Structure 1
Amino acid sequence: EWAGLSLTMPLKQAVIPLLDWLDPPAMATSSVNTVVLPGAPTFDGTVRGYNTDVAGIVAAVAPHLPGGFAPASVAILGAGATARSAAAAAVDLGAESVLVMARRTAAAQEVAEVAEALGSVATRALGTSDAAAVRAGVAGADVVISTLPASAAEFLSELRLAGGAGVLLDVVYAPWPTRLADAWDGPVVPGSEMLLLQAAEQVRLMTGLDPDVDLMRRALSE
């Protein structure tokens, strides 16, 4: 019997009406990537949905913050489901401000509203047609989270983003490094680290056990 499911788009939203319960990150982001089913030792009689991407982003970024301090500003590139998780993660990291940048300003605003709903944080939405403003936003952020797919390399090239000094999490894990990661001057966290850490949380939720993350990391690198 199935213990659980790990979901990607478009199932992250399509599954929600089928669930009995959502954890707060899933509810805030309208995105579920983990479902715990009756076959799980942790099953409590309800089919539960979780968003472990938020925890994965926080766990991937936090070790790289100088002195362990909360970032004053987080900039997010993109407006999809992962961008929503990034907005929630920015609040969990203690960010004072969140800037969301996407092709459509309205889509960026929807992501910014996720952060607004979760905490007392200043937000701003920006369309990427203003390339100079995007470059300034990226360069000035303590943390930059790019949720753009690998196919966006040409788009990023058009923006001519210079390497920033803050922490960069680029959620792409193949091919690696991305053009943005290769040009970055500050600490770079690969998407594979977020993938690993959110998966470790999925294992905990489905089994009730703490996985060997180092062993998982070695397996992922092989």
Structure 2
Amino acid sequence: MKCAVWGSPIEHSLSPVLHRAAYAALGLSDWTYDRRNVTVERFEAALRELGEGWRGLSLTMPLKEAALAAAHDASVQARQTGAANTLVRSDAGWGADNTDVHGLATALRESGLERAESLVIVGSGATARSAVAAAALLGVRRVAFMVRGQPRPQTLHQATAAGLDVTATPMGRWPSTTAVISTVPPASLDGLTDLPEERGVVLDVVYGEGETPLQRAARAQGWTVVEGTEMLLHQAAEQVRLMTGLPAPVPEMRHALAGALARR
């Protein structure tokens, strides 16, 4: 079976490292996983050109909305977020999913956060929509979007449709909370990191760029820090499960990811 990650640019992607490690651990010697530079303009034609041996695709930006539009069917998470990072082929066609939601929720749960009353989401773009869906899985009741200006309407609509109590707060003005997910570039929070006193859990989705200002401040103030690589790992593990039908070998995938990051 053939699988791959598509996007543009794509050279930076660590998906091949994770998926190939999974195939090796599962004994799937006839499965392959490659990367391909595909633009939005080229996406539909490239999808049509895939032969019968193709089973699954991982999608990075800027293809997530196009992937959802091209799918025959879509998961609840893909429909809620308006984006798909996963396409899995069946006899009926391509099914879409957004495993970023699983990645975020699982990374937070493994940090010890089984349930949270409130969550601050820094930013309101596409990744923030995945964070909203993850919040629902974690039983969150209140979400505050920390943004410059106003939150994006699509993200606000998703949060309110999920029954969440939604507020917005200016960048750097932290409301009381025990959980934070940052979806913005690290520089956006430089100097704005005086976190609340609750000492909860912080997940910064950025990875591979060293310690971010938010992570540094959180550690100094006694918060639990979840690395962005944990989200990356668990979203890939869910992709492996969806594509192969087998439980993902998370320890082997984590080991391969750590090795790849150390070599960068």
Whether TM exceeds 0.5 here: the answer is: yes
Q: Whose radius of gyration is greater, 1 or 2?
A: 2
Q: How does 1:9-158 map to 2 (within 5 A)?
A: 9-37=61-89, 43-65=90-112, 68=114, 70-107=115-152, 109-118=153-162, 120-128=163-171, 131=172, 134=173, 136-137=174-175, 140-149=176-185, 152-153=186-187, 155-158=188-191
Deviating beyond 4 angstroms after TM superposition, the runs of 4 or more aligned structure 1 residues are none
Counterpart CA distance in 1 for 2:99 and 2:73 is: 15
% same residue: 42
The runs of 5 or more residues in structure 2 that have no matched partner are 1-52, 260-264
Instruction: Considering fraction of residues, name the structure with more helix.
Output: 1
Distance apart, 1:169 and its partner CA: 0.6
**Amino acid aligned to 1:189:** V
1:40 corresponds to: none
2:254 corresponds to: 217
The TM-score, its normalising length taken from structure 2, stands at 0.72
Partner of 1:5, secondary structure, is strand
Instruction: Provide Cα deviations, 1:10-49, integer angstroms capped at 9, x if missing partner.
Output: 1111222211111001001101000012xxxxx2422100
Q: How does 1:161-176 map to 2 (within 5 A)?
A: 161-164=193-196, 165-176=199-210
Partner of 2:211, secondary structure, is coil
1:187 corresponds to: 224
**Alignment check: 8 A CA contact 2:147 2:169 kept:** yes
Instruction: Considering fraction of residues, name the structure with more strand.
Output: 2
Partner of 2:54, secondary structure, is coil
Counterpart CA distance in 1 for 2:138 and 2:151 is: 25
Q: Which of 175-184 and 84-93 deviates more?
A: 175-184
The runs of 5 or more residues in structure 1 that have no matched partner are 38-42
**Alignment check: 8 A CA contact 1:34 1:202 kept:** yes
**Amino acid aligned to 1:167:** V
The TM-score, its normalising length taken from structure 1, stands at 0.85
Counterpart CA distance in 1 for 2:245 and 2:200 is: 35
Distance apart, 1:176 and its partner CA: 2.4
CA RMSD across the alignment: 1.6
Distance apart, 1:117 and its partner CA: 1.5
